[in-house]
Structure 1
């Protein structure tokens, strides 16, 4: 088996991908900004990135930041992968990056296009939002006396370990291009999901829908970030909350 490099290999998704690949017998290198021996800031690139890619056949690109720099990071990673002779670049993206005009989504779409034009063998998987993202959202707004949420928006959260299993399987296979999207098992309104969080956390808060402005909000209201026809996930938000709050 060839060596696989997982960028963002200590993050929410990357650590599960790393564990699964290693359990399957793959040699895996973890690249992040602070994890030795491959501590590299992808936005800067340089000799450290070339050293991390030396002898690597497959790259699973999980590193991402809504604070910016993803396009430069992808440019540097693609260049290093070419120089190393890597044969397969796997990228995790988001359902709706081509339908919801949110800045972060536009960046993810731009990275997809860089990868498609890279000359490398590539695979791109788009998924809906992880349960963890909704939890962080609800924990944040749950500190207020009233929980304000975007009015008229639904979500389709998916279990991160299920996404990791799909991504690890894709990484172990041949380049597949854009594969079918992966969504969570249920499309539910944000208030419904918020009330599930409140029950699990033992909190009482009124949940209030707040109308917002802008094209991105209209895209979310229209369900551009959902894929009900690909509701292949199995773990529900309540399953996730039960594990989290029991822990």
Structure 2
């Protein structure tokens, strides 16, 4: 079978995609900005999605592409460069990773962009793929466990932790998303959108409470209501996909099942 090119192949989802493809015996290329030797059956090819340098060569002979590249601030540019290059190369299927709510979270003001501009940025990336001429499928995922854990870890550094009122999240295991990306890539292009979310929807207060319990910490949770259209959209559930709660791992399982719990135990001495 033709090689599959993975972009963002060293990131949270991308490295899991690469691992799953290799387990399936696939020929994998990973696009990187700097040269790396071939390792573990993976060929690393040099290219820059912000400038387009090396991208055409990386796509030479490739059958399909899984795009996990999510560079902040330049996501639209990266998506457009890759999708147009994939179309020009005659790639059979481009599978693009985005976020649930990209088209529903209303980003209208400067405050919206500062707080939740990620959704708007991802939407522009989706539109760049859609208009590129490539044969595409976009997978929208809810927030990864890892991302929410990183945000919670930052917040709990303070003895008083802001908890956004009436906001709910549906955290999903990154490997569940990787599995769906790999399953999609061999199928026919949808030229449309597919969604995946975690198995449960939790208020932010409950996410933080479980995080604190897993780390053995005590903090005061302070209810905070954010203004703006984007925050209102999220309070209305624009970031959720309850009809596609296909994830297999709960937030509690994530918190107690690996490195986070081990770090917490080490910190307590």
Q: Same fold (TM over 0.5)?
A: yes
2:259 is aligned to: 244
- In the aligned structure 1, how far is the partner of 2:34 from the partner of 2:146? 22
Q: CA deviation at 1:126?
A: 0.8
Q: TM-score, normalised by structure 2?
A: 0.87
Q: 1:161 aligns with which of 146, 155, 175?
A: 175
Q: How does 1:1-247 map to 2 (within 5 A)?
A: 1-34=1-34, 36=36, 37-46=44-53, 48-66=54-72, 68-101=73-106, 102-242=116-256, 243-247=258-262
C-alpha contact (below 8 Å) 1:152/1:209 kept by paired residues: no
Q: TM-score, normalised by structure 1?
A: 0.94
CA-based RMSD of the aligned residues comes to: 1.5
Q: 1:114-166 CA distances to partner (integer Å, 9 max, x unpaired)?
A: 22222221111111111011101110011001111222211010111111001
- In the aligned structure 2, how far is the partner of 1:180 from the partner of 1:69? 23
- In the aligned structure 2, how far is the partner of 1:140 from the partner of 1:220? 21
- In the aligned structure 1, how far is the partner of 2:232 from the partner of 2:33? 35
